[in-house]
Amino acid sequence: MANSTALAVSDSQLSPEFIQELLPSAERTALLYHLSFLCLGGFPKLERKIRDQAIETQMLFGSSEAVLLKCAGTSSNLVTSLFPILIKAVEKNKPKLAVAYLEKARKWIKDIIIAVDDMVMRYDHQAQSVKTCTSDVYEEQNTTEEKIKEHTVEMKALEDALAKLETDLKKNESDINAIEERIDKSTEELYYLIINNRSYGYSIFWGFFSRCRSYNDDAIRAKQAELNSLVYEKNSLRNQGWSIKIKQTDLQLKLANCKIQLGEIPSPVHLKEVQKCLDQIRQILVDLNKFWKKVGVTLETLKEKTFVGDVLIEELEDLKEEFLNSIEDAKLDWKRFGECCQRAQGIFSIQSRTAYKFLEVNPSSLSKDEWNKQYESIMAKLKMI
């Protein structure tokens, strides 16, 4: 008789815990698309390409949801229909009924295999499309770099001019500091002369010190003239400094405008990660399909070893208890597998309906604060995964 325990999911190549691998891959896919959309959103041509790929993946997840729902439904049918019928067929010796349901189960499984095969091909095609999109970004990046090279002379001249202005400004500030030190010194000397002049003016020895007073008057006037000259020089240096700063601002704006017009395109590293995630999901579906194919073969083997046409093999009577026990064990595994398929279907449902809402907002319309807020939010979610 057939080794009916082969119907148990635990003996298959695919563990029901495949959901644990599917969840992070699906979540990362949307988040990485979002990052790519943010980083390349300032370039309309590339933004459209990212949007198209994201929408296609969103639709792919919607189709995956339908396939997983079919897997969950088939698992439920095996538990609620096939296994009970097989048990009754063995208990009441009704082989025609059992054979009919085995054929029906084979039809269910064949339909799933075809559907999953189609999904595997679509994921493969989508991964290739993302790869092409990534190449397009690199091509645009190279074109931009060529433009930058063409404008290198202009940008270099602006940068050199800014560097010279920076040097001039530092010298200007140094000269102003030196002038201020000289002004402070001259001011102290002037105060000293004025104070001495007043003391001499009120001295009882006026006649004796009259020449000193005359000398001090001349010294005060000379010091005042020196101080006025220093203040004038300081003001000139200040005006010169403002002029340098104005030139700096002008050149900085020209240089910034030059860079903006050229457009510096970031590398599409996030799209490469999208390809990896899609490939991981594709591989999960490949394993899922191998599993269903194995189940199909197992059912056929069960039929061949248990029935001759639509008649039960005579020796089955002696192994009836073992057969019934193995079916009961398989029921428990298939129920758990069906629940996992439902959870996987739920993951695809969430991803296809809510994870791509970021496409509704044009990234170029975001303020710097809004852009940073979205970026930090995505990175936090990626770290959590």
Indicate the pLDDT class of residue 265, thresholds 50, 70 and 90.
low
Give the per-residue pLDDT at 306. Answer: 56
What are the residue ranges spanned by the domains of the chain? Answer: 4-149+266-384, 152-262
* CA atoms of 107 and 213, how far apart (whole Å): 125
Give the per-residue pLDDT at 267. Answer: 65
Contact 270, 130 (CB under 8 A): no
Over 80: is that where the pLDDT of 216 sits? no
* CA atoms of 129 and 39, how far apart (whole Å): 19
Lowest mean pLDDT among 25-34, 124-133, 174-183, 215-224: 215-224
For range 276-291, the mean pLDDT: 81
Indicate the pLDDT class of residue 108, thresholds 50, 70 and 90.
confident
For range 211-227, the mean pLDDT: 71
Q: Which residue has the higher pLDDT, 255 or 114?
A: 114
Contact 22, 347 (CB under 8 A): yes
Q: Which residue has the higher pLDDT, 151 or 141?
A: 141
Over 80: is that where the pLDDT of 380 sits? yes
Could you tell me the pTM of the whole model? 0.63
Would you tell me how many other CB atoms lie within 10 Å of the CB of residue 56?
A: 15
- Run of H or E including 307: strand 307-308
Share of the chain above pLDDT 70, in %: 77
Burial group, residue 174, by CB count within 10 angstroms (0-12, 13-18, 19+): exposed
What letter would DSSP give residue 356? T
For range 19-32, the mean pLDDT: 83
Give the per-residue pLDDT at 203. Answer: 41
